[in-house]
C-alpha cells in the first residue's frame, strides 16, 4: 500500500511541475515578443532601412497588437482638442472617417458648415441613432485588410503613382487612394479631417491605410487642413501618419490623438520634406 501511494504522489508532482514549467515558458515567450516591439519599430522608423523582407510574419504580429475589439473612446482632453479646432474654424468643411457618437456631438459645432461622415461598418450604417444625428453619411468600402499594411506602404514608396503630384486623387492609380467616393469629397477643400475609422483592430479587419493616405492627399489640396488621427499608439496609424502626414506638420497631440496641420502644396514631389521625415525614403 505504501509504495503505490508514494509513486502516485511522485507522478502527480511530476505532472504538475511540468505544467508549471510549460506555462512559465509561454509567459516568457510572450514577454519576449512584446518587448521586442519598440526597438524594432524604432529601428525601422529612425534608420535608413528599407522595409523588412519578413513582412508576413511581422504584419501578423503588429496587427495583433491592438488587442481589444472594443473601440476606444476619445478621452476628455482629446474630445476638447478636436472641438476647439472645429469651433474655431466653423463654419467649415469637415470630413470624418468613422461614424461615432462622440464625433457626431463634435460635428454639431460646425454650424452652417458641411460635415460628411464616411463609414464602412454595415451595423453602424443601419444604426438609427447614429444616422438620424448625422447630416451626411456615405458608405465606403475598404478593400484592404490591416495585415496588408506593410505591403501597401512598400507599394506607395516604390510607385510614382502614389506621390502627391502624380495626378488627381480620383484618377489615381495608387493602391492606397480611395477613388470611389462621392464626387463632393474630391471637389471640396477640406478644412478639418478626422480619422477614427475603419476599425483595423484585427489582421482581417479593414485598416486605416487608405483613410490616412487619402487624408494626406486631401490636406495637400486644401488650404491649411487640420488632420486628426486617433489610435496612433497602434502601428498602422503611427506609420502611415509619419509617412503621409509628416512629422513636420504635427502641431499637437493628446495621448494617442495626433493633430497635423497640412500646409497644402500639391506640387511637391514627396509628402514629407526630404530627410526631415521620420521614415527615410531612399530605398
Ligand X SMILES: *[C@@H]1O[C@H](CO)[C@@H](O)[C@H](O)[C@H]1NC(C)=O
Residues near ligand X (CB under 6 A)? 47-48, 101, 123, 127, 129-130, 223-224, 280, 282
Residues written for the chain: 283
Nearest one of 231, 227, 219 to 263, comparing CA atoms = 219
- What letters, b where the CB count within 10 A reaches 16 and e where it falls short, cover 229-262? bbbbebbbbbbbbbbbbbbebbeeebebbbbbbb
State the nearest-atom distance from the C-beta of 225 to ligand X, in Å.
10
3-class DSSP string for 169-238: HHHCCCCCCCCCCCHHHHHCCCCEEEECCCCCCCCCCECCHHHHHHHHHHHHHCCCCEEEEECCCCHHHH
State the nearest-atom distance from the C-beta of 223 to ligand X, in Å.
4
Q: Closer CB to ligand X, residue 50 or residue 173? A: 50
Q: Closer CB to ligand X, residue 130 or residue 192? A: 130
Q: Closer CB to ligand X, residue 2 or residue 128? A: 128
State the nearest-atom distance from the C-beta of 110 to ligand X, in Å.
17
* Sheet of 250-254, strand order: 136-139, 114-119, 93-97, 192-195, 226-230, 257-261, 250-254
State the nearest-atom distance from the C-beta of 186 to ligand X, in Å.
17
C-alpha span between 62 and 46 (Å, rounded): 18
State the nearest-atom distance from the C-beta of 133 to ligand X, in Å.
9
Q: Closer CB to ligand X, residue 130 or residue 137? A: 130
State the nearest-atom distance from the C-beta of 8 to ligand X, in Å.
55
Give the DSSP H/E element, type plus range, for residue 254: strand 250-254
Q: Closer CB to ligand X, residue 17 or residue 49? A: 49
Q: Closer CB to ligand X, residue 202 or residue 280? A: 280
- What letters, b where the CB count within 10 A reaches 16 and e where it falls short, cover 73-92? ebeeebbebbbebbeebbeb
State the nearest-atom distance from the C-beta of 100 to ligand X, in Å.
6
How many other CB atoms sit within 10 Å of the CB of residue 39? Answer: 9
Q: Closer CB to ligand X, residue 219 or residue 236? A: 219
Amino acid at each position: 500500500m505504501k509504495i503505490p501511494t508514494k509513486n502516485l504522489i511522485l507522478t502527480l508532482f511530476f505532472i504538475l511541475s511540468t505544467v508549471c514549467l510549460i506555462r512559465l515558458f509561454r509567459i516568457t515567450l510572450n514577454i519576449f515578443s512584446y518587448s521586442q516591439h519598440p526597438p524594432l519599430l524604432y529601428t525601422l522608423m529612425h534608420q535608413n532601412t528599407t522595409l523588412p523582407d519578413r513582412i508576413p510574419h511581422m504584419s501578423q504580429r503588429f496587427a495583433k497588437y491592438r488587442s481589444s475589439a472594443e473601440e476606444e473612446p476619445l478621452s476628455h482632453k482629446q474630445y476638447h482638442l478636436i472641438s476647439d479646432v472645429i469651433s474655431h474654424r466653423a463654419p467649415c468643411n469637415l470630413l470624418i472617417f468613422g461614424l461615432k457618437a462622440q464625433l457626431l456631438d463634435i460635428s454639431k459645432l460646425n454650424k452652417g458648415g458641411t460635415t460628411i461622415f464616411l463609414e464602412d461598418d454595415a451595423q453602424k450604417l443601419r444604426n438609427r441613432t447614429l444616422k438620424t444625428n448625422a447630416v451626411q453619411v456615405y458608405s465606403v468600402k475598404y478593400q484592404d485588410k490591416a495585415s496588408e499594411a506593410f505591403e501597401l506602404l512598400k507599394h506607395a514608396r516604390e510607385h510614382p503613382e502614389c506621390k502627391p503630384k502624380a495626378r488627381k486623387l480620383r484618377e489615381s492609380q495608387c493602391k492606397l487612394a480611395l477613388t470611389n467616393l462621392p464626387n463632393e469629397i474630391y471637389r471640396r477643400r477640406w478644412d478639418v479631417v478626422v480619422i477614427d475609422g475603419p476599425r483595423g483592430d484585427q489582421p482581417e479587419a479593414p485598416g486605416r491605410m487608405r483613410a490616412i493616405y487619402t487624408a494626406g492627399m486631401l490636406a495637400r489640396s486644401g488650404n491649411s487642413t487640420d488632420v486628426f488621427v486617433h489610435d496612433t499608439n497602434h502601428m498602422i496609424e503611427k506609420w502611415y501618419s509619419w509617412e503621409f502626414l509628416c512629422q513636420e506638420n504635427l502641431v499637437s497631440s493628446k495621448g494617442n490623438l495626433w493633430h497635423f496641420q497640412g500646409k497644402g502644396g500639391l506640387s511637391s514631389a514627396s509628402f514629407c520634406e526630404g530627410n526631415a521625415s521620420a521614415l527615410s525614403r531612399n530605398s
